[in-house]
Structure 1
């Protein structure tokens, strides 16, 4: 891998500098302690060490990004399955039985991965936010203030503050 090769290159450079510094130390009796060569080698060593630290940070960051992208892709591909489970729940088909247990386990796993469901229960009566919600209908409503959500037609999903899919909602236009 390129990362391992770069890691090996940085380490081999550092080892080479240390060997040269050791060889220079053997002949140091003839040269003054603060020689230019020694300072140059120390500077090279510091540079290689800094490169290695930066490399490690970059690899760690890239690994975290790749992991997050993998989880995001998997969760996004499950959204149609979650829609089917929501439809079954709404029809009363998930009240009991093995499918209810499977749906509950899936919800638990997805919650553990940071997935938040924006559904009727969590959104009803909250203020409409076009960054998180998709208004598909706007109707006058005496009970719900203007620009607040009346009903959710399709659940939305958010993970770690990122909208995976906006909730499709009905928004109140206020009293008639």
Structure 2
């Protein structure tokens, strides 16, 4: 039986195998490089996302800490507002004429209450709490609560004509809105009666 000459020579078979190897190696190298680039891009994207999330977390934490510091006394401050209101009512209950009168005891009491009120307001201000007294200012629904609207010839329409109760802010937030009355502007002039009414222009009868 006669054998195929190509299979009889091992050197020919080895040469044939060597001739096909470079192309296979080149194809494998390109595929590996593409895979590495894809993995690199994926890792880079994940890293950027992680860094962005960490920065957002840092900013959010700083903001929450600042808010906690600024508004930590909100409940306590709101409880103190009643005391401030009572001090103001006590001062306003003393007649103007009696404040500088001859009664030294009453004057000393008035001065003491007034000093206490000032010190309380200063203490509140040191903690970021400010009084809102909008007399004559434009009505702002974010800061004021309208109790009534009434004509007022001295104050233009839309301005606060009376402060029923002062308000307070803590930081940029409203601790308590001011209770106010709002001017409706000057009252409308009475319209003259139509001609012929009340006998004004009615011709006399004979």
The bucket for the TM-score relative to the shorter chain is 0.5 to 0.7
Deviates more, 1:59-68 or 1:128-137: 59-68
Partner Cα separation in structure 2 for residue 115 and residue 76 of structure 1:
10
Partner Cα separation in structure 2 for residue 129 and residue 51 of structure 1:
38
Distance change (3 Å), C-alpha of 1:49 and 1:89: same
Q: Does 1:112 align with 2:109?
A: no
Distance change (3 Å), C-alpha of 1:172 and 1:102: same
Partner Cα separation in structure 2 for residue 162 and residue 133 of structure 1:
13
Match of 1:31 in 2: none
How does 1:159-174 map onto structure 2 within 5 Å?
A: 159-174=170-185
Correspondence for 2:110 among 95, 98, 104: 95
Distance change (3 Å), C-alpha of 1:52 and 1:104: same
Higher alpha-carbon Rg: 2
Partner Cα separation in structure 2 for residue 54 and residue 175 of structure 1:
54
Match of 1:148 in 2: 159
Deviation at 1:69, TM superposition (A): 3.2
**TM-score, L = length of structure 1:** 0.61
Distance change (3 Å), C-alpha of 1:128 and 1:108: same
Structure 2: 5+ residue runs without aligned partners? 1-43, 45-49, 95-105, 188-206
Which one has more relative contact order, counting CA pairs under 8 Å at least 6 apart?
Answer: 1
SS at match of 2:110: coil
**TM-score, L = length of structure 2:** 0.53
Partner Cα separation in structure 2 for residue 150 and residue 70 of structure 1:
34
Match of 2:135 in 1: 124
Residue-by-residue CA offset, 1:99-157 (whole Å, 9 max, x unaligned):
433322211111111211122xxx22111111111110110010000011111001111
Match of 1:78 in 2: 80
Distance change (3 Å), C-alpha of 1:49 and 1:107: same
